[in-house]
Homo-oligomer: A and B are copies of this chain.
Amino acid sequence: MSKLRVAVLGAKGRIGSEAVRAVEAAEDMELVAALGRGDALETLAESGAQVAVELTTPASVMDNLEFCVRHGIHAVVGTTGWTDDRLAQLTTWLAASPATGVLIAPNFSIGAVLTMKFAQLAAPYFESVEVVELHHPNKVDAPSGTATRTAQLIAAARAEAGVGPAPDATTTALDGARGADVDGVPVHAVRLRGLLAHQEVLLGAEGETLTVRHDSLHHSSFMPGILLGARRVVTTPGLTFGLEHFLDLN
């Protein structure tokens, strides 16, 4: 079987250099180009790349994707800063190149994506649900964006299933003891030296609890998701937003 020809854009960055290493280590892939700031995009076309892994910056991502789509090169995009305008522009480009696929994912950690999915699936079946996220103490926001998003998804799943508020008889509490309220779901943020990024969804019903926990111990945790994205985007024309659409979850 011929190998998938993959290029990395933003290859000098922290995540980009991990991606270069991961593509090189993948038995079913061949790294055909690794572009850093200032390298000419023509190199990409000349390399024969089938997929470009785009890990640059909001300032350069649109030019890069226009080039990729025009040349029929599929793209897996980790760069952030997506607005409705940008997505509309990208969709227009893709309409003119209907065989080309682009995957944009806010989170390439398969574990994080599955945690959110499982939390949503389980939410309607448990009276109680809370989220605890734990991170290194240099993090500036609390709770994490992932935890907030997870709580919102849980709240929406409960609402859709007609589940009422979780029971809570608290009448006397210290400020903050019961966590932050995200759409009715308590979210607690722990900051601890030694940790990286961790999240726990706790669900409780009569006599039992279910816990889904994701531990990210190294930023290389994005690599399996990026590789999976590269393998699948080549047979998924058009725009896909969110890695969860590339996971078989039925």
List residues of A whose CB falls within 8 A of some B CB: 22, 109-112, 114-115, 118, 121-122, 124-130, 132, 134, 137-143, 148, 166-182, 186-196, 202-224, 228, 247-250
Contacts and interface: CB of A to CB of B under 8 A. Distances in A.
10 contacts: A111-B209, A132-B188, A137-B166, A167-B191, A170-B191, A188-B188, A192-B202, A207-B222, A210-B213, A217-B217
A22 B248 CA distance: 36
Nearest to A113: B125
Contact of A194 (B143, B180, B221): B221
A205 to B, nearest CB: 5
Contacts of A174: 142-143, 148, 180-182, 187
B210 A224 contact: no
Identical chains in the assembly: 4
A211 to B, nearest CB: 4
Contact of A208 (B122, B125, B140, B214): B214
Given A128-B137, A137-B169, A139-B169, A217 B196 contact: yes
B189 A173 contact: yes
Given A137-B169, A208-B214, A220-B207, A114 B110 contact: no
A228 to B, nearest CB: 7
A172 B140 contact: yes
A141 B124 CA distance: 27
A192 B130 contact: yes
Contacts of A167: 137-138, 191, 193
B180 A141 contact: no
B249 A114 contact: no
B193 A127 contact: yes
Contacts of A250: 249-250
Contact of A141 (B166, B170, B175, B207): B170
B128 A205 contact: no
Contacts of A166: 137, 191, 193
